[in-house]
Structure formats: structure tokens, C-alpha cells
Amino acid sequence: ARAQRRHEQGITPLRRLGEGRLFESLREWGPGDDLRHIDWKATARRGKVITRQYEAERRQHVLLVLDLGRLMTAEAAGVSRLDYVVRAALELSYTAVQHDDNVGVMAFADGVQHFVAPQRGRLALRRVLDVLARVEPQLVEPDYPGAFRYLAAHNRKRALTVLFSDVIDRFASDALVANVASLRPRHLPLAVTLQNPELNAVASLRPAVAQDAFRKAAAEELLRAREEALGRMRRAGVLVLDVPPDRAAEAVVAKYVDLKRRGRL
């Protein structure tokens, strides 16, 4: 059933071993290599069969970064925002392993609480799932500078770094914006933020009384500040996926597959 659902969502196996990807280097040809990639000039020079190696032949790294701070304690439709994030992270980690990528996870609040470096295969998936089963949101301000210093020290290989977090106002988002942007150019940062359906509904109200007008104005101001923060991340080169909570899993998997297809990792 799970495989059928992914097929229906368009999540199918990608082209293998560099087809249509950027040339990286030359190496000796081996059994199973595509004959179309043989470099005949290099073969003549070296006296042995040489093939072109493409970037897609390297196993790529996907690192899930979960913000467990106070904004993740809120609920949407009776479900905590962190629960939506965990489901999305589960789906993405499963899909990354299916595509033969390395997968890892970091979770932090006012300090780093869990870290699993990107690794390959089912063992890596089990380690990631173990972390995701244990995370809990906390009523603390997240320490973005500390978390990203830790990340820089412990994960030097290029990775699609998927940050599950949120922004609510300029003051709260300044540190997030600055630190997630610092991942570039070594890493490809993707910020996944969850929209607030209740806030959107209040901002769309047609006020009948003064109290409704005040609520509407406050909601509109919060949404403006939030969009400004997301815009700053985009201008800094961060990919941003801002989605309703119940669509987060589907959207982040689709984004990952799209980035793979376009050779962005």
C-alpha cells in the first residue's frame, strides 16, 4: 500500500548512475558500467578502457534538522506541529534511502539533543527513526547559532539540509534566517515551514465587531512579518517550502525528488 501510494504521487525510481548529469571525472571502466559513457580518446591514451563518471554516481547526503523549540508546541487541527514534522521527516528519510542516498538527522531546542550523521541503507533508516520516535517539543527558544555551529563541525560533506522549523515575527526569525543561510554554498539548505490555517482564517475574516477587527489586524501583521522572513531566506539562497501542515510530508518528498531530477544536490 505504501509503495502504491508513492507511485500514485509520482515518486518513482530515478535514472541511475549519472544519466543526463554533469561530468565529474574519468576512471577505469568496470563490469556493469554503461558502454555509452566510455571515453574513447582517454582509452586510446591510457591503453585501457576509461569511462566518464558523472555526479549522480556519488551517493548523496540528506540531513534532516528538526527545531524542537516553542513554536513546535502549537497545534493545527488538534495535532501538534511537531507531529506533522515527524511524519514529513519519516517519509523523506524513507524515500532518500529508497533512492540510495545517505540520510541523517539532528534535533535541537536550546541545545543539540540528537545527532546521527548521514549514513546509507536500512541501518541508517533505523537510527533516524529511533530519533524521530523520541523527539518532543519544548517551551524554550531554539538556539540556532549553537545548532548550526554543531552542524558545521559534525557534517562537512555537502548535504541537502532540510530544516523543519517556523517563523512568526522578525525578532524570532532573525537568528534562524542568518544561520540557515550560512549553510551555503557548502550545503543546499531547504527550509520547510508549516503554515497556520487558523491564523490565515482570522486574517480572512470580515469583521462584524471591533474585537474581530483587532484580531484580523493582528493576524495580518503576523502574516506580513512571517512572509518577510521567508522572503529574506529566499533572497539569501535558501530554498523555502511553506505548506499547510497536513501537506508537509507529500510536499517535502516531492521537492526532494524534483531536486534530484534537476541535479541540484
Give the chain's domains with CATH numbers: 2-57 (no CATH), 61-261 (3.40.50.410)
Per-residue pLDDT at 32? 53
**Radius of gyration over every alpha carbon of the chain, rounded to an integer in angstroms:** 21
Rounded CA-CA distance 104/118 in Å is 4
The label of the residue with cell 469583521 reads 207
For 68-126, what is each residue's pLDDT tens digit?
Answer: 999 999 988 889 999 999 999 999 999 999 999 999 999 999 999 999 999 999 999 99
- 169 vs 183, higher pLDDT: 183
Which regions of the chain does DSSP assign to beta strands (E)? 23-28, 50-54, 61-67, 75-76, 79-80, 102-108, 112-119, 160-165, 188-194, 239-243
Q: Judging by beta carbons within 10 Å of its beta carbon (0-12, 13-18, 19+), is residue 229 exposed, middle or buried?
A: buried
Length of the chain: 265
Task: Please name the amino acid found at residue 26.
Answer: L
Of all residues in the chain, the percent with pLDDT exceeding 90 is 59
| Position 12 pLDDT exceeds 90 | no
Q: Is the pLDDT of residue 23 over 90?
A: no
Asked whether the whole model's pTM tops 0.75, one would answer: yes
Which stretch of 53-62, 236-245, 248-257 has the lowest confidence by average pLDDT? Answer: 53-62
- Between 24 and 134, name the one with better pLDDT: 134
